[in-house]
Structure 1
Amino acid sequence: MPDRIDLHTHSSVSDGTESPAELIAAGVAAGLTAMAITDHDSTAGWQQAFAAARGTGLMVIPGMELSTRVGHSSVHVLGYLFDPTHQQLVEETARIREGRLRRAERMVERISADFPLTWPEVLAGSPKGATIGRPHIADALVAKGLVTDRGAAFESILHWSGGYYEPHYAPSPEDGIRMIAEAGGVPVLAHPATHGRSGVLPEQELERLIDAGLAGLEIGHRENTDAGKRRLRDYAAAYDLIVTGSSDYHGTGKPNRLGENTTDRSQLERILALGTGSVPFRG
């Protein structure tokens, strides 16, 4: 059977709709041979995912999608095979999650002035232990019949121009990449070409990220534009960067399907060779 490798998926630990065990079952059903669990700013789903993969033949790559920020722009960094007990990374992700929670609460307070939605309703509809964020507010808006689905919520009430949005704390991309690398992990820039060539980071900025420890680019992603992908491939060739392809699966929370974009085995092998902070679980 040919390899089918998906290195970007989310469980209910962050903003997916399936538990880590259900996520692994979905990966097996989709015919994946390897997958990474990359919840936002959390490693809490790793052990559940490993347990669910036992006996399936599926390789599970422990990972995370780390929130970083440049000004008002959010930049996400995928980290693979880092040490989940690394003190600075543990402290920073806790700070990010707390910032997300307080920001979500403030947004709901603003929304409640115009729509019948309360913070207890958001909490009640969110999975226990999840990193609460805008997707959970979106789910509450759907449950109240105020929007049709998550997508509609993000395009209207939760849009940055909707009047209710506010940013949350996150470190700079350089600091985030450096932390992942210092924890023995492999940092890969997530979906970095969502706005065409004009949205791809300038080469000088890329060089700064590489100096901080950036190892790769997620090029195969439904939100990357064709023009952006071409620019990223040029970067990857010029700087010998790892190239990944992934679904960014969130269960029913997004239309993305497992395995819709995949990573070549040769690129996964590069990640496995570089990561020293943890090891993949081989089911």
Structure 2
Amino acid sequence: MKRRSFIGTAAAASVGLVATTNVVANSNKQEIADKLKYNINHSVCYWCYNTIPFEEFLQALNSLDIRSIDLVDPEQFPLLKKYNIHASMCWGAGKGIVEGWNNPDLHEELIADYKRVIPLVAEAGFTNLICFSGNRNGMNDQVGLRNCAKGLKQLMPMAEEHGVVLQMELLNSKVNHKDYMCDNSEWGVSLCEAIGSESFKLLYDIYHMQIMEGDIIRNIQDYHQYYGHYHTGGNPGRHEIDETQEIFYPAVMKAIVATGYTGHVAQEFVPSWEDKLAALKQGVTICDV
């Protein structure tokens, strides 16, 4: 074959391949969109899929018609805009899970850091910013609650002004996060009432609270006004949310929908399947009630 003829043929084939790939991706997206009801706003926590390069993962979300992502920081916001993906839960402020708002010695540092990040979240058009209580380290829970309220109250005027909601995650202290203070709904709800602002809510992690307190649907019914966001995960093991674990997620999702919730539910299970994106697609389908 002559070189010029080969180049022309190869170029045409390349264009055809790209066109075919785009058609397949769009067809896949349309197929998924036709099946989803969208009574639940679906999202996903990237850390569970971080073996996939971030930009490649965003492209995959577009093909799956998953429109939001959780636990991203301001440095990642430009790529979210590029792929039209919403940040349903931001992070990037604070000192992590272990050192948090129950320690008054950290308040000055934490307040300064959250005041830096809150405007960045708002400017990007996002709403939710995660925070943590910190570990007990021998501290009484009521003392820790008062300390958290005292520190977080100082951020509420700025959060309210920018339309940003700080959300403290409920985590289990039995298996994954030993000694973590905000490990039950009643303590978290008491903190919400002490702060008294719509700019502070609880991130209700279904996996973690199944371990700590169970009674998931009743707690959603009783305390839904304090829950600003939801995470999933299969128990035991924190893997897929299908029949391999003990939580019946369709019923949980129906309970969430029944409260009138309009926020996001983010998949935060760690895939055990070789095809991680297929596992994600299954999880979203299970939750799409």
Q: Specify the TM-score bucket, using the shorter chain as the normaliser.
A: 0.3 to 0.5
Of Structure 1 and Structure 2, the greater helix share is in 2
TM-score in terms of structure 2 length? 0.39
Q: Which has the higher contact order (CA 8 A, sep 6+)?
A: 1
TM-score in terms of structure 1 length? 0.40
Q: Greater CA radius of gyration, 1 or 2?
A: 2
